[in-house]
A = this chain, B = another copy of it.
């Protein structure tokens, strides 16, 4: 193990995800520092013993002391922070993140860092429809995937440290994937599904529908409750992959429309049989 009992973590950003990381790491006995641009999350984290120390300032000592820094910021805020403060990070520090897109940030971050500071990107595929440190919950990691997206600039040691971090946080599954595959997969599995939920929730104004709703509509729109600042950044940063997947999805929906227009019951049944088989295989492999 590279991560030792005395390894010091600094978490930058104390929202739902930063708070949940702090909660998990402090429970395991690690020293956890935090930076936040607001006092309230720091107070909350100190009160609940999620962190040992925290600062609302760019605290040079906290930054310099950290062995591992985890950035739990929105993507553009993360980029800005690194551009302004990278020089404060000590040589030998390992940096990782929680960002939901990878290609648009990895190279920019790696370029902006001092030579002996290494950024190994990762993405905890966990979350809630709520946000803020008050909703922190380290149990969200227990059934979730932790994706690590190394580039050729990353060392074996950094990859191992990031894997250890995923294990300490308690993720069900840890996988290595290229940044390109990550952004493609995320556009399909996560961003497209959120677009569908938003469109479904917004496309019909009939208030009285609420009275008749069944489980399927509730399931499909659960994620229509969305943090608009974070997700709009993620969608726009990943727009090429996302547009590709929206178009592929609409093409598939158009195939259903054609079977309806042509009264093609056989064609419709074949699509349903295909989706049934695919969804069943999918259950087994989860």
Contact = CB atoms under 8 A, between A and B. Distances in A.
22 contacts: A126-B214, A177-B212, A185-B206, A196-B220, A199-B253, A199-B256, A202-B271, A202-B274, A202-B278, A211-B285, A213-B282, A216-B223, A218-B286, A222-B279, A224-B276, A226-B275, A226-B276, A228-B269, A233-B265, A239-B260, A239-B263, A242-B260
A21 B182 CA distance: 47
Interface string A241-271: 0110111111111011100110101001101
What is the oligomeric copy number? 2
A247 B199 CA distance: 11
Contacts of A265: 232-233, 236
A168 interface: no
A278 to B, nearest CB: 5
Contacts of A253: 195-196, 199, 246, 250
Interface of A: 125-126, 144-145, 147, 173, 175, 177, 185, 188-190, 192-204, 206, 209-214, 216-229, 231-233, 235-236, 239, 242-243, 245-253, 255-257, 260-261, 263, 265, 268-269, 271-276, 278-282, 285-286
